[in-house]
Amino acid sequence: MKPIRWLDLGTIPALRSQTVYHAVAQAMTAETPDTIILVSPAQPYVCIGYHQDLEKEVDLAYCQAHQLPVFRREVGGGAVYLDEGQVFTQWIFHRDHLPLNLEHQFDLYIRPLVQTYQALGVNAYFRPVNDIHVDGKKIGGTGAAQIGAAQVVVGSLMFDFNKATMARVLKVPSEKMRDKIFESLAQYMTTLREQLDPLPDRQAVKALYRQKCAAVLGTDIVAGEWTAAEEAMAVELDRRFTSDAWLFQTGGLRQTGVKIHEDVRVVEGAFKAPGGLIRVTARLREDRIDDLTLSGDFTMLPASGLGALEQAGRGLSPTRELLVTRMQGVYQSLNIQSPGLSPEHFAEAILLAKNGS
């Protein structure tokens, strides 16, 4: 491999901490080096996954009252509260420079993070599909996307994490549920601050991570420069990421406005698969799927696969056999990768919604 460009951008505005890696990906040409970005946000914010429905996942009233901006990334996964307690580790590589198999990508990406934690004395290990654990507690997850000409994989070095705020920004049906989320975060999530005393120097940890990346990837990692083309793209993405059109989309089809009457009903449901939560909103007309919207906190490549699955469901009588067959066809035709999710899981989610479960 050619040398990899290292961009340690330090602490930058919250919005830019997301748009920088999108910008490198969108501006990528054949001459652009594979790039690793390290960055932390100067202000706290909430970030939702590409396939999520904002109004179902985030307590917008709370975020507005506490001046917490909300952004949508082009990477899958769930809604998360982010602040200066994390150093984001963002890989933007040419697609043929990373394993084609998404689970193998996660394994490669996570390896230097695990080795960094271990060198610091933290008993970290890879927990498939895409998590890092320490003695049964999560210290980091990862996400991936194809953006422009690039393959992007992102995660973080978890120095600290505000679990109480994380529990508060999520939209949940009851305060009892919120209390349970906070209790679960406290019990099953950890950070470097909890694992080490004193907390290690941030620059020293970054340098250690750089060494581990070079060893795992088998090439030099060289400090580089942010280009004018990438800055121009980032400015454009700054505008896009703060637009309502981008933020409030669900990544799927919009309802067509067919009048609801005695033969039409709208149903909703959710199914927890190993790879994440699948949410379903469907309109049934004479017991056929008239419209279908899918969302959730999973990873799927290509991102257009979700819209294709929605289209494939339209017009079907929602039976398990028909749904599985149609979803399998989409998976095969688009070569969809969705670790921990299968066509059967999407079929199950649709059936649960139909049956009111």
> For the purposes of burial, counting CB atoms within 10 Å of the CB of 99, is it exposed (0-12), middle (13-18) or buried (19 or more)?
middle
Taking the C-alpha atoms of residue 93 and residue 243, their distance in angstroms, rounded to an integer, is 27
Q: What is the CA radius of gyration of the chain?
A: 21
- pLDDT at site 259: 27
pLDDT at 167 over 60: yes
| Furthest CA-CA distance within the chain | 66
- pLDDT at site 263: 63
Reported confidence tier of residue 254, pLDDT bands at 50, 70, 90: very low
Taking the C-alpha atoms of residue 161 and residue 170, their distance in angstroms, rounded to an integer, is 15
- Predicted confidence (pLDDT) per residue in 293-338, tens digit: 999 999 999 999 999 999 999 999 889 999 999 999 999 999 999 9
Q: 230 pairs with which residues across the strands? A: none
Q: How many CA atoms lie within 13 A of 342 on its CB side?
A: 5
- pLDDT at site 268: 86
- pLDDT at site 266: 79
Mean pLDDT is highest, among 246-250, 253-257, 339-343, for: 339-343
CA nearest to 88, candidates 138, 137, 41: 41
Across the chain, what does the average pLDDT equal?
A: 93
Burial 123-136 (b: 16+ CB within 10 A, else e): ebebeebbbbbbee
- pLDDT at site 357: 57
pLDDT at 209 over 50: yes
Taking the C-alpha atoms of residue 79 and residue 130, their distance in angstroms, rounded to an integer, is 16
Q: Following CA atoms 326, 278, 291, 264 in sequence, which dihedral angle do they give, to the nearest 10 degrees? A: 110
Reported confidence tier of residue 250, pLDDT bands at 50, 70, 90: low
> For the purposes of burial, counting CB atoms within 10 Å of the CB of 314, is it exposed (0-12), middle (13-18) or buried (19 or more)?
middle
Sheet holding 276-285, edge to edge: 264-273, 276-285, 288-296
- DSSP assignment, residue 120? T
Q: Is the distance from CB of 118 to CB of 154 less than 8 angstroms?
A: no
Mean pLDDT, rounded, for 239-244: 95
Question: Six-digit token pair at 221?
Answer: 């990692």
- pLDDT at site 257: 27
Share of the chain above pLDDT 90, in %: 85
Mean pLDDT, rounded, for 163-185: 92
Mean pLDDT, rounded, for 250-279: 67
Q: Please give the backbone phi and psi of residue 35, each rounded to the nearest 5 degrees, phi first.
A: -135, 140
Asked if the bond preceding 173 is cis, omega within 30° of 0, the reply is: no
Reported confidence tier of residue 35, pLDDT bands at 50, 70, 90: very high
Taking the C-alpha atoms of residue 342 and residue 356, their distance in angstroms, rounded to an integer, is 22
- pLDDT at site 354: 87
- Residue that is written with structure tokens 């998590």 in the block: 131
Mean pLDDT, rounded, for 229-252: 89
Mean pLDDT, rounded, for 106-124: 98
Query: Which residue pairs from 162-165 have beta carbons closer than 8 angstroms and sit at least 24 positions apart in sequence?
Result: 162/44, 162/81, 162/83, 162/85, 163/189, 165/44, 165/81
Taking the C-alpha atoms of residue 52 and residue 299, their distance in angstroms, rounded to an integer, is 11
pLDDT at 356 over 80: no
pLDDT at 260 over 80: no
- Residue that is written with structure tokens 């580790």 in the block: 89
Q: Please give the backbone phi and psi of residue 49, each rounded to the nearest 5 degrees, phi first.
A: -75, 160
Q: Is the distance from CB of 75 to CB of 102 less than 8 angstroms?
A: no
pLDDT at 261 over 70: no
Reported confidence tier of residue 284, pLDDT bands at 50, 70, 90: confident
For the chain, how far is it from start to end, CA to CA, in angstroms?
51
- pLDDT at site 287: 82
User: One-letter amino acid identity for 210?
Assistant: R
- DSSP assignment, residue 189? B
